[in-house]
Structure 1
Amino acid sequence: MEYDLSIDNLAVVKEKAIDLAFQFGPALFKALVLLLVGRYVIRLLLKVMTKALDKYEIDPSLATFFKSFLSAILWVLLLISVATTLGMEMTSFVAILGAAGLAVGLALQGSLANFAGGVLILVFKPFRVGDTVEAQGTLGSVESIDILYTKVRNFDNKVVTIPNGALANNSIVNYSLKPTRRVEMAVGVAYGTDLKKTRQVILDTLKKDERIHEDPAPVVYFTNFGDSSLDLTIRCWADVADLWPVYWDNMEAIKEAFEAHDIEVPFPQRDVHHYYPEGKK
């Protein structure tokens, strides 16, 4: 196919291009300016809202949710304004937006469930930002609660993003809701050991730790005849922040107390009886 690139045709094309530029150029320029200014205004409003929420000490969970929700609404309004500036009629745009919203709603049913789950979490507050929770196979500290997802940082510093719908419809274990926690330790002593003496040694060791509460008082129970040991369970109460330090420090202290009082901590062992055929060594 051959194209007619004569001077007359080029002039016509140039003239049409100039006409289109004069016709749509101003609207396009206005839409671009509106988009840039609107983006700046949205950021400014979010900063103002953040300062206001911090000033009035709004719960961090609600603060994050409100900021995410406001950002989504502002961006939708900005896109509508840009479309109107480009010459799209509002009624047509609303009709298109409604049809698109229906299609998107059907396609994103899971996201809508996550949104509803986020609202339920913020209303009933099974956990807050900073709480230690166990949910959906993840144990860690809640970093943020957004519109659709909750971020949990586990104890090896990995951030797990969990859908709010799954959190709202399944069991959640909150380790931070109560101010105190029970510390449970397990030890074993050799068969033949005086259990009363062992119990008293353990209780005397626990009394030296000021972090352990006196009420409820620590207890030591004999719980099992093990293969190589008599198994004991130790239970005491401490503040949530002291849970693991109390556990680690007292396990070591009990081991040292056992050594000081000649209480044997056994290791797995087996008795082997070897029978030789008659007449053979």
Structure 2
Amino acid sequence: MSIIKEQTLEELRDLVVNSGPDGLLAIVILIVGLVLANLMTRILYKFLLRYIPKQSTVTIICIIFTLLAAMVVVALACIQLGLSPRPILRLMLIGSFVVIGIILLIGPLMPTLPFKAGQMVRLGEYIGVVESTSLLNTRLRTFDGKVVYVPNRKILDDIIINYHHTETRRIAIDIGIGFFEDLIKAKQVLEEIMIADPRVLPKPSPGTMVLTIGESTIQLGARCWVANENFWVTKCDLTEKIKLRFDFEGISFAFNQLDVHLHTSHDPTGLDDNTAQLCHQSMDRNNAAS
């Protein structure tokens, strides 16, 4: 590998020595031109994504633009060296047509990602905004500031949720109250909290329902619709308001509990000495208390 690098450097040195300032300037034009072409391609890609929904079409346009820009840069470098750019341009033009033809033939058969940069999506266990996509992976910025690179092969094999296509979303808040709490009052309080929030949409109207009756709780569900961009903040605010309002109204939340009832026998016969002694002590305490 080092031998190849040394040979390349020697060839570039000979080119600069033989061509003089023109050769050096041609190399500068080639390097700077290719860097600018790459930068302009990225800017064009982001710009076209705003107006063209199909990502594959934008990719084809950017590839064509990159090839044309590279041809112009190579032509300028050849002219600076005093060479005829026609043979090189013809070769590049043929190669470009071949690449474009392959893309047009194979492009419709290749799987495309159902999102683009700037959209909020759920990719597996991660939720965030798509920053960019490439042939191999997708760069996702989560809401806690992390940058996650997700392989595209994993994305295509998993379920994807794209929140960008929905204008509204439904908020679902489930809470549990005790068996001895006022069920009707709790439902009325939940509806009042949702209706009073200006971010909650009037249609579909907010509603509450009894979801389940468990071993130690009555599970209530509060449902309402909000604009997509207000979903997370509104859900957190409603949860806090429900807690504070329930405390004010004296409605207790249910919690897991276990009641143990101990039945003592008045006939300790048939028990071992220690157990019989404990039974006698318990009966003595009960008689003393009565």
* Fold shared by both chains (TM-score > 0.5): yes
The match for 2:32 among 4, 25, 40 is: 40
CA distance in 1, matches of 2:190, 2:256: 22
Instruction: Say if 2:200 and 2:226, in contact at 8 Å, map to a contact too.
Output: yes
Which digits, 9 at most, give the CA deviation of each residue in 1:146-201, with x for residues without a partner? 34432111122121223445444543210121111110101111112222221111
| Highest RCO, 1 vs 2 (Cα 8 Å, sep ≥ 6) | 1
Letter in 2 for 1:218: P
C-alpha distance after superposition, 1:186-237 (max 9, x if no partner): 1111112222221111101111101001100111111122332211111110
Query: Paired residue for 1:176?
Result: 164
Q: Report the 3-state secondary structure (helix = DSSP H, G, I; strand = E; otherwise coil) of the residue aligned with 1:279.
A: helix
> Of 127, 131, 139, which aligns to 1:139?
127
Give me the whole-angstrom Cα distance separating, in 2, the residues matched to 1:24 and 1:259: 82
Aligned to 1:160: 148
Counterpart for residue 228 of structure 1: 216
Report sequence identity in percent. Answer: 25
Residue pair 1:60, 1:129 contacting (<8 A) in 2 also: no
Q: Which amino acid aligns with 1:40?
A: V
| Pairs within 5 Å for 1:22-61 | 25-26=17-18, 33-46=25-38, 50=43, 54=47, 58=51
Rounded to whole Å, the distance in 1 between the matches of 2:138 and 2:16 is 44
Query: Aligned pair count?
Result: 241
Contact 2:38–2:66 (8 Å) recurs in 1? no
| 1:138–1:254 Cα change, 3 Å | closer
State the partner residue of 2:268. Answer: none
After superposing the two structures, state which structure 1 stretch, 68-77 or 136-145, moved more: 68-77
Larger displacement relative to structure 2 (266-275 or 196-205): 266-275
Please point out which of 227, 232, 243 is paired with 2:231: 243
Change (3 A) 1:52 1:75: closer
Counterpart residue number, 1:271: 259
The Cα RMSD (Å) is: 4.7
Structure 1 CA distance, aligned partners of 2:211 and 2:241?
21
Q: In structure 2, the residue corresponding to 1:197 is in which secondary structure?
A: helix
Closer, same or farther: CA 52–145 of 1 in aligned 2, 3 Å: closer
Deviation at 1:267, TM superposition (A): 2.5
The 3-state SS of whatever aligns with 2:185 is helix
Matches within 5 A, 1:46-125: 46=38, 50=43, 54=47, 58=51, 65=59, 69=63, 73=67, 116-117=110-111, 120-121=112-113
Q: Is the 8 A contact 1:185 1:251 kept in 2?
A: yes
1:31/1:270 CA distance change after superposition, 3 Å: farther
Aligned letter for 1:220? T
Would you say the 8 A contact 1:154–1:160 is kept in 2?
A: yes
CA separation in 1, counterparts of 2:151 and 2:173?
35
Q: Distance in 1 between matches of 2:180 and 2:133?
A: 55
**Residue in 2 that maps onto 1:6:** none
| Residue 77 to residue 29, structure 1, CA distance change in 2 (3 Å) | farther
Instruction: Identify the range of structure 1 (143-152 vs 252-261) with the bigger mean alpha-carbon deviation.
Output: 143-152
Corresponding letter in the other structure for 2:277 = G
**Structure 1 gaps, min length 5:** 1-19, 99-111
Give unmatched runs, 5+ long, in structure 2: 1-12, 96-105, 265-274, 282-290
